[in-house]
Chain A
């Protein structure tokens, strides 16, 4: 958390440096003021039905506030499996300071937690560093490395691409890969690639801000993680359909 605080204070300092570029009496307004804004974006807010007839509510959202170069981000992903009596599962809840380091890339650092909403004891707290932005060929990416309190290192890559079918409709392939650099037995994360998830969504914008979609996904556990699941008698792969909405405010 100390790192986070430091990053945040650095970032806020960067946002509020007053500079003087013109000629003005003290009581005159600046002709052009620095501009800050924010956005609350639900990239995915969806109901998932798996091949095993399970229903899940899944979200993937972010909120940011700031200027062009320095921003604060709040990101969260998670799911709630209906009728299983289990509490909501947080895949991640993160607070990050962000700095634009290249025209299309922000470097972000902060702290996060994941695990069950119900019990703090089962949650994993971690520091996170992300490379967030748009890769050549217009791939929207969020690449993260996390380090938890035990020093376990994990990495994830998320990439999305919009194929424009019309001015308001898109086909969006999506790829998510999770890997662990160290064994984290406590959190069922053996070292190596853990999981790959591929999705395809068809999205229709009723407005730029509100776009319902339907889609499918295929998810598969990999290498040691897959063996682990097989050993427990589970399915190493899963297919499902989704109905949801992408929206922002």
Chain B
């Protein structure tokens, strides 16, 4: 697979790297993230077996001494590059003093190669080597990570890119961008803090000052009405992310803001950015000020091109975008955490050492009434604040803008949602009284940004998928939570409380309906099978991870074609740990 470099590219590298010694380069970028992008540098190639060694070792992270889990000496781990149609052979050696595992996120493979301890295999014991082997039946941008304990939070993750059989990357150059969140705290301490002290990491709560300002702006009655709604529910409109920039250092390809990871381009080139959210708990809003992005792939699967200025990427999702930077100038790659408590930036430049202005963090967003599932019931609340009016469903469906005008509006499916009688018990602090489709909303904090933001409703599959049967039955699952006790579950029961797997019949086509009965966004991941999102478009986009907004209902079509047991869970690491996890059994 190693090819000789075209003459033009060789020249390009020479000029671009002229000022930086090889030594400097090695310091600022992991081996696979060389600024020149694809095909250059120490990329692991697919034709031979890949050996991966997992260790815990001291490394400098953002200028401080940390102790991440490394894979072949780097955190995040190396870029693994496979090719569609090949047989992947990956030998993972555990150099830790506890069990470990690697899950190949989004890859269709046999049950025993999926890498979830207790579901697909027993895990990898210290000192042991596990031999993963499977046929690669797909291409696109994916990633891999530990499925053991909280190891993912320690950086046990890396990018996985699969070239199409013909090797075409659909652009002149490509860069892989994996975003992650690093904390110097012990992940188990983070989990305990969340469990025993609600809001431990949230330093963006409403204060008395905010209340007084609201009273001045909109009067006491309206302010009371708003506050009362949230306070009666004992919830916070500013609960956006559980773990925030107060402990996290956000990383781009393992590098912090000061390091300024840089990707190089030549003016006029089409550059493919493969963006992966490999973080434990952080949704990011990704944009490149001054540059529009054409989304061509979601979760590794091709979609009809849609041009946007910004996209929100849930934990574990991937998006491929094509950009055409011009003018021989640097652009900032800007990934802002959804709660605006921090960001990470890199630079897209023609030369190393360049930087462009870094945008300021935008104001802390607040959840509106739509988050409570009250968008219809609470008509009188629509104008009670910019967020609530923007999040109002009726308002959203008339959202103006070039991106949405004239396009078919996916309608909220009439799915006959059932809540368990009396709710879901103490594990569910809220029931979405009126769940709606929110696929056309950009999400909290992005309502008023004044430029094009990707929504799920924009995604159209690039081509039809093989199984076109109508689903023969529906399975309904509710996402439930209790922030105060940090309980997270499906249907009010955490994993340790349910008495059996979710049963799929082998070969059936089914519809999975999910209702988010919580105030948080959740990225829900199904292992082993694709989920085709019913967003009103044909072909449907298909995803391995689907993010649900508060009080949202989504429906997905699934072909139960993968025999065996598969993990199904919220990909927020501490939600999974708390029990928002199920096993799906296909038999």
Using CB atoms and an 8 Å cutoff, list the residues of chain A in contact with chain B: 19-25, 27-35, 37-39, 68-69, 100-105, 134, 136-138, 163-168, 171, 208, 248
Contacting residues, chain A, for B147 (C-beta < 8 A): 31
Contacting residues, chain B, for A138 (C-beta < 8 A): 231, 234
Contacting residues, chain A, for B116 (C-beta < 8 A): 31
Whether A104 touches B484, Cβ cut-off 8 Å, given contacts A21-B582, A22-B118, is yes
Contacting residues, chain A, for B209 (C-beta < 8 A): 165-166
Cα distance A28–B200 when bound, in Å?
34
B579 interface contact, C-beta 8 A:
yes
B497 touches A103 (CB 8 A): no
The 9 closest A-B pairs by CB, nearest first: A22-B583, A23-B565, A31-B118, A34-B496, A103-B429, A167-B203, A21-B498, A32-B495, A39-B196
A100 touches B426 (CB 8 A): yes
- What is the CB-to-nearest-CB distance from B113 to chain A, in angstroms, rounded to a whole number? 15
Q: Indicate with 1 or 0, residue by residue over B524-550, a CB within 8 angstroms of chain A CB atoms.
A: 000000000000000000000000000
Contacting residues, chain A, for B231 (C-beta < 8 A): 136-138
Cα distance A32–B570 when bound, in Å?
12
Specify the chain A residue showing the minimal Cβ separation from B121: A28
B487 touches A68 (CB 8 A): yes
Whether A103 touches B428, Cβ cut-off 8 Å, given contacts A24-B119, A164-B205, is yes
17 A-B pairs besides A19-B497, A31-B147, A68-B482 with CB distance below 8 A are A20-B499, A20-B500, A21-B495, A23-B585, A25-B122, A28-B122, A29-B99, A31-B118, A32-B495, A32-B579, A37-B195, A37-B196, A68-B427, A104-B429, A137-B232, A163-B208, A167-B207
Cα distance A136–B499 when bound, in Å?
33
**CB proximity to A under 8 Å, residues B472-506:** 482, 484-487, 494-501
Specify the chain B residue showing the minimal Cβ separation from A168: B203
A23 touches B232 (CB 8 A): no
Contacting residues, chain A, for B121 (C-beta < 8 A): 28
Among B205, B494, B567, residue most surrounded by chain A Cβ atoms (within 10 Å)? B494
Sample 28 A-B pairs with CB under 8 A, ordered by A number. A19-B497, A20-B500, A21-B582, A21-B583, A23-B565, A23-B583, A23-B585, A28-B117, A28-B121, A29-B118, A29-B123, A30-B496, A31-B116, A31-B117, A32-B495, A32-B581, A34-B494, A37-B196, A68-B494, A136-B233, A138-B234, A164-B205, A164-B206, A164-B208, A165-B209, A167-B205, A248-B196, A248-B197
The interface on chain B, measured as residues whose beta carbon lies within 8 A of the other chain's beta carbons, has a size of 56
- What is the CB-to-nearest-CB distance from B128 to chain A, in angstroms, rounded to a whole number? 14
Cα distance A29–B116 when bound, in Å?
10
- What is the CB-to-nearest-CB distance from A171 to chain B, in angstroms, rounded to a whole number? 8
B195 touches A32 (CB 8 A): no
A103 touches B498 (CB 8 A): no
Using CB atoms and an 8 Å cutoff, list the residues of chain B in contact with chain A: 99, 116-119, 121-123, 147, 191-193, 195-197, 200, 203-209, 228, 231-234, 426-429, 482, 484-487, 494-501, 564-565, 567, 576-579, 581-583, 585
Specify the chain B residue showing the minimal Cβ separation from A22: B583
Contacting residues, chain A, for B500 (C-beta < 8 A): 20-21
Neighbour of A167 across the interface among B122, B204, B234, B486, CB < 8 A:
B204
Neighbour of A19 across the interface among B197, B486, B498, B565, CB < 8 A:
B498
B208 touches A31 (CB 8 A): no
- What is the CB-to-nearest-CB distance from B119 to chain A, in angstroms, rounded to a whole number? 5
Neighbour of A32 across the interface among B203, B207, B482, B576, CB < 8 A:
B576
A208 touches B119 (CB 8 A): no
Specify the chain B residue showing the minimal Cβ separation from A64: B196
- What is the CB-to-nearest-CB distance from A18 to chain B, in angstroms, rounded to a whole number? 8
